[in-house]
Amino acid sequence: MRKKIVAGNWKMNMTLDEGHALVAGVLKGLPELSNDKQVVFAPPFLNIQHTVYQVEDVQHVHVAAQNCHSEVSGAYTGEVSAKMIAACDATYVIIGHSERREYCHETDAMLAQKTDVALDNGLKVIFCCGESLEIRDAGTQNEFVEAQLKAGLFHLHKHQLANIVVAYEPIWAIGTGRTASSQQAQDMHAHIRSVFAAQYGQPTADSLTILYGGSCKPSNAAELFACPDVDGGLIGGASLKAEEFLGIIDAMVKA
Ligand code: PEP
């Protein structure tokens, strides 16, 4: 059975103290998580080690970095390597978020390299994909997302897919309050799964966790998570308030 995950991407929010209070609030209200369910916090780099210590005794709760560099090490001032993240005992790294693709000009080739370096260092990857409104309006979203996944992930061997989670995040729904309808999310998630099935076989595709991201909140999470191919969410804004994040976690637990 594939894993269900709710992951909170804090982006460039939360000081150490604020992050501590947020995690403490979530842990206080956390429902029991069965073996097939996980909660992930993705704080800024500076909070990672502290967050790892905070959750280390809590089952099925993990920490992710929001990015890593594509090179192993070297003269890259201001950057953080996958090895450093893994050394903090983080479990995941988010790769290919649309904000990094846009603002940091991250290319498909860089993202494929980041994926490799992350996996080589024992991290699991939450790989983001998703189309702009322009592409959605043109009706070519399936081809676009398929191309992103092929370029970023399809060089991997089948056994490596066990350490990949895909997050479908339509750019037009991120931070806009405009969520994809559950039908739009289900259609794309089913398409993504079929693309992996064609490349790696149905059993591998069936075990792939595919998250939805984009203005997911407690009021729409249950409907989204009820879709057969939606295995949880990557949450931005609503992960910054314990009560809201818990509402979404609750929807995953009940789905
Ligand atoms: C995100 O950026 O990963 C995201 C899903 O943001 P939001 O939930 O705020 O739309």
| Ligand 1 within 6 A of CB of 129 | no
- Burial of 25 per CB tally in 10 Å (0-12, 13-18, 19+): middle
| Ligand 1 within 6 A of CB of 248 | no
| Ligand 1 within 6 A of CB of 95 | no
**CA 108 to centroid of ligand 1, rounded, Å:** 21
Mean pLDDT of the chain, nearest integer? 97
Ligand 1 atom at minimum distance from 167 CA = 3
Q: Could you tell me which CATH class the domain 4-27+37-254 is placed in?
A: alpha beta
Q: How do the domains of the chain map onto residue ranges?
A: 4-27+37-254
**CA 168 to centroid of ligand 1, rounded, Å:** 11
Q: Give, using CA atoms, the residue closest to atom 2 of ligand 1.
A: 236
DSSP code per residue over 59-108:
TTEEEEES---SSSSSS-TT---HHHHHHTT--EEEE--HHHHHHS---H
Q: Do 92 and 127 touch, CB atoms closer than 8 A?
A: no
d(CA 65, CA 4): 19
- Burial of 238 per CB tally in 10 Å (0-12, 13-18, 19+): buried
| Ligand 1 within 6 A of CB of 169 | yes
**CA 128 to centroid of ligand 1, rounded, Å:** 11
| Ligand 1 within 6 A of CB of 167 | no
Predicted local confidence at residue 66, as pLDDT: 98
Active-site residues: which are they?
97, 169
Mean of the pLDDT values across residues 75-91?
A: 98
pLDDT tens for each residue of 146-201: 999 999 999 999 999 999 999 999 999 998 988 899 999 999 999 999 999 999 99
Sequence-distant (6+) residues with CB within 8 A of 139 are none
pLDDT tens for each residue of 122-152: 999 999 999 999 999 999 999 999 999 999 9
